[in-house]
């Protein structure tokens, strides 16, 4: 672990133990009270004086939970970007407002009965912002549709995202971070973290294009591959990105024929259509042909076929343990929606 991070980790554990330090001015033994507080100040000052932290702007304020006494302060009145600390407040608000029994849902309905294996209407998917939906859940929905005896869908697949507002991108997020999976677009219909994995490996011969694999495999994105297998020792780098405002993935650069496979993860544009397109493709694999297109509307069917559920505690775990931004944004929007 680099020295800078060791210092910050040490500071974290030191701060975590500060609640045991009595406030200033109370009668204490030589090892507590004023002397303990002086020792605490000295320890924190030593950590913050580490040369590896010189490029950092650090603020520390330690307050007694008993009486509000300030035990230590440095740059306590400065403004900082809240960063992922804000997720703690979002989590607390989620538990307070939504409650511990709240569940994130995805509901699948149809608008007509099945005759001779054909659903003469459409399939409808209403999303309620579940950030944990994965391709395996889409496969489950496809199998459920097939289990109802449906082999053909005369209409299309209609997605309803009206549970959330229309703001899919955080105010203040940087435009050039758009392909970053940590800043995935927000939707009431999410799947696979609203991202796609792109694996790139050398071609079989010099001069051949690099080989590209998508996970999950889908025709939802377009791939423009200009990457080349080459022994050029001056340029051995492959770049993978997504064009802004499109689902076009661009591969550029060169790979040595003996280079290992590289993997990239990119966010997708319009994740609700990503969900619906994957669902249509997985239905085809399950033996269900959908004739119509995928589209968005606020319509719903009267016949419920399936419901996916994820409890709030599993969402809170993803918000706080891996510090997942999409889960946090979905939780915040669910609070507003309810």
- Tens digits of residue pLDDT in 70-104: 999 999 998 888 778 889 999 999 999 999 999 99
Number of H helices, E strands in the chain: 7, 18
Cβ within 8 Å of residue 252, ≥6 positions away: 226, 227, 238, 239, 240
Q: Residue 60: is its pLDDT beyond 80?
A: yes
Question: Within this chain, do residues 173 and 212 fall inside the same structural domain, yes or no?
Answer: yes
pLDDT at 13: 46
pLDDT at 9: 46
List beta partners, residue 209: 228
pLDDT at 2: 52
Question: Within this chain, do residues 76 and 124 fall inside the same structural domain, yes or no?
Answer: no
Question: Within this chain, do residues 59 and 194 fall inside the same structural domain, yes or no?
Answer: no
Q: What is the chain's Cα-based Rg?
A: 26
pLDDT at 102: 98
Q: Residue 25: is its pLDDT beyond 50?
A: no
Task: Answer yes or no: is 88 within a domain.
Answer: no
CA distance 211 to 215: 14
Which of 25, 53, 80 terminates a domain? The answer is 80
- Reduced to 3 states, what is the DSSP secondary structure of residue 328? helix
Tell me the average pLDDT across 223-230: 96
Task: Answer yes or no: is 324 within a domain.
Answer: yes
Which of 29, 51, 80 terminates a domain? The answer is 80
Question: Within this chain, do residues 158 and 269 fall inside the same structural domain, yes or no?
Answer: yes
* Residue of 271, 269, 283 lying closest to 157 (CA atoms): 283
Question: Within this chain, do residues 26 and 149 fall inside the same structural domain, yes or no?
Answer: no
Which of 35, 55, 80 terminates a domain? The answer is 80
Split into its structural domains, the chain has a count of: 2
Residue 331, domain extent: 97-222+262-338
Question: Within this chain, do residues 131 and 273 fall inside the same structural domain, yes or no?
Answer: yes
pLDDT at 33: 65
pTM over 0.75: yes
Tell me the pairing of strands 228-229 and 248-255. Answer: parallel
Tell me the average pLDDT across 222-248: 91
Q: Find the CATH number of the domain harbouring 336.
A: 3.50.80.20
CA distance 128 to 67: 42
pLDDT at 164: 98
Question: Within this chain, do residues 61 and 110 fall inside the same structural domain, yes or no?
Answer: no
pLDDT at 90: 95
Question: Within this chain, do residues 110 and 172 fall inside the same structural domain, yes or no?
Answer: yes
Q: Residue 21: is its pLDDT beyond 70?
A: no
- Reduced to 3 states, what is the DSSP secondary structure of residue 259? coil
Question: Within this chain, do residues 195 and 267 fall inside the same structural domain, yes or no?
Answer: yes
Question: Within this chain, do residues 67 and 101 fall inside the same structural domain, yes or no?
Answer: no
Task: Answer yes or no: is 238 within a domain.
Answer: no
pLDDT digits (tens, 9 = 90+) for 134-171: 999 999 999 999 999 999 999 999 999 999 999 998 77
Tell me the average pLDDT across 273-301: 97
> Chain-wide mean pLDDT for the chain?
90
């Amino acid at each position: 672990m680099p020295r800078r991070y060791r210092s910050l980790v040490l500071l974290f554990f030191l701060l975590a133990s500060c609640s045991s330090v009595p406030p200033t001015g109370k009668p204490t033994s030589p090892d507590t009270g004023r002397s303990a507080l002086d020792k605490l100040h000295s320890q924190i000052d030593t950590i913050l004086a580490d040369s590896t932290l010189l490029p950092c702007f650090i603020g520390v304020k330690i307050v007694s939970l008993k009486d509000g006494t300030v035990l230590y302060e440095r740059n306590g009145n400065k403004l900082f970007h809240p960063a992922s600390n804000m997720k703690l407040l979002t989590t607390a608000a989620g538990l307070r407002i939504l409650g511990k029994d709240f569940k994130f849902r995805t509901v699948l309905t149809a608008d007509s009965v099945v005759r001779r294996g054909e659903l003469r209407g459409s399939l409808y998917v209403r999303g309620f912002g579940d950030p944990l939906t994965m391709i395996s859940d889409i496969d489950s929905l496809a199998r459920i549709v097939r289990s109802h005896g449906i082999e053909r869908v005369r209409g299309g697949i209609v997605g309803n995202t009206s549970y959330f507002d229309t703001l899919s991108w955080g105010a203040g997020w940087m435009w050039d971070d758009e392909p970053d999976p940590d800043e995935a677009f927000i939707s009431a219909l999410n799947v696979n973290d609203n991202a796609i994995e792109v694996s790139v490996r050398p071609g079989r011969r010099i001069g051949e294009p690099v080989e590209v694999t998508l996970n999950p495999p889908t025709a939802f994105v377009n791939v423009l591959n200009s990457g080349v297998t080459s022994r050029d020792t001056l340029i051995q780098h492959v770049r993978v990105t997504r064009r802004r405002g499109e689902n076009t993935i661009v591969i550029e650069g060169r790979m040595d024929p003996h280079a290992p496979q590289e993997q990239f993860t990119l966010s997708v544009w319009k994740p609700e259509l990503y969900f619906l397109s994957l669902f249509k493709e997985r239905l085809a694999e399950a033996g269900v042909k959908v004739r119509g297109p995928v589209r968005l509307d606020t319509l719903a069917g009267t016949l419920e076929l399936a419901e996916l559920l994820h409890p709030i505690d599993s969402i809170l775990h993803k918000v706080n343990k891996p510090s997942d931004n999409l889960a946090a944004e979905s939780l915040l929007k669910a609070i507003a929606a309810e």
